[in-house]
Amino acid sequence: MKQLDLEKLNTAITKFSNERDWDQFHSVKNLSMALSVEASELLEIFQWMKEEESNKVCDDPATLSKVEDEIADIFIYLLRIVNKTGVDLEKIALHKLKKNAEKYPVDLAKGNSKKYSDL
């Protein structure tokens, strides 16, 4: 995966929103709801696919294009929320991975899909 320039993306997203005077609608609540809707739209693409079909989505350009659009929408809304809340995305992601490593130790979780409370 190539390195992302989140500052560049955030600037472009903010500019896009400002040009349309959408900041008035982009409360953290509304952005969170929009994020959920976009995640559901991504889910809808895969809803009736068999497991193996979902893993081969890259082989179908039309479906891949839909997936890319929804991932982009999700990412844009997420970055808007990060910007609005002032959250340090890298810091919280690394912190959450550390917490998850404690909840899912390798010796218990490797190859296992059980929730941490059932390990």
Neighbour-count burial of 101, counting CB atoms closer than 10 A to its CB (0-12 exposed, 13-18 middle, 19+ buried): exposed
Per-residue pLDDT at 1: 84
Q: Is the pTM of this model over 0.95?
A: no
Over 90: is that where the pLDDT of 74 sits? Answer: yes
116 lies in some domain: no
Domain of residue 41, CATH code: 1.10.287.1080
118 lies in some domain: no
Tokens matching residue 45? 């693409």
97 lies in some domain: yes
33 lies in some domain: yes
pLDDT per residue as tens digits for the range 20-67:
999 999 999 999 999 999 999 999 999 999 999 999 999 999 999 999
Residues for the chain: how many in total?
119
Give the total number of structural domains in the chain. 1
Domain that holds residue 96: 6-110
Mean pLDDT of 2-30: 95
Residue 78 CB partners (closer than 8 Å, separation 6+): 35
Residue with tokens 């989140």: 6
73 lies in some domain: yes
pLDDT per residue as tens digits for the range 78-102:
999 999 999 999 999 999 999 999 9
